[in-house]
Amino acid sequence: MLLAKWTSSCLPCTSQVPAKVNAISIDSCSKTGVIFGDLISSCEAINCSRLQLQCTGSVPTLAIEKTDGVQLYLPETVGRLVCDYFTFTNGN
């Protein structure tokens, strides 16, 4: 099990995290896709644009801060379990 996956300043790319990890952080990425399996803690996106997140397992918390154009793909099992969503926007 990985402790954490951190992605920063990516331009058009897709990243896949097949192993079970503690947390995923995505910072300042544009036109990026992240596919992940089971998360123990959370997935957070900060200062991103045109981001796609796809969970193939379970995720207890999704935090999205200052991010434009997010698409979330969650399996049906996540809808039946408890999953918290947090979104924050800060404009001038």
Per-residue model confidence as pLDDT tens digits over 20-68: 888 998 888 899 999 998 888 889 999 888 999 999 888 888 888 888 8
Handedness of CA 20, 25, 28, 30 (dihedral sign): positive
Those residues whose C-beta lies under 8 Å from the C-beta of residue 4, and which sit 6 or more positions away, are 21, 22, 23, 24, 25
Dist CA 57 CA 30 (whole Å): 24
Is residue 92 scored above 50 in pLDDT?
A: no
Dist CA 21 CA 8 (whole Å): 17
pLDDT of residue 78: 56
Mean pLDDT of 10-21: 84
Predicted model pTM: 0.78
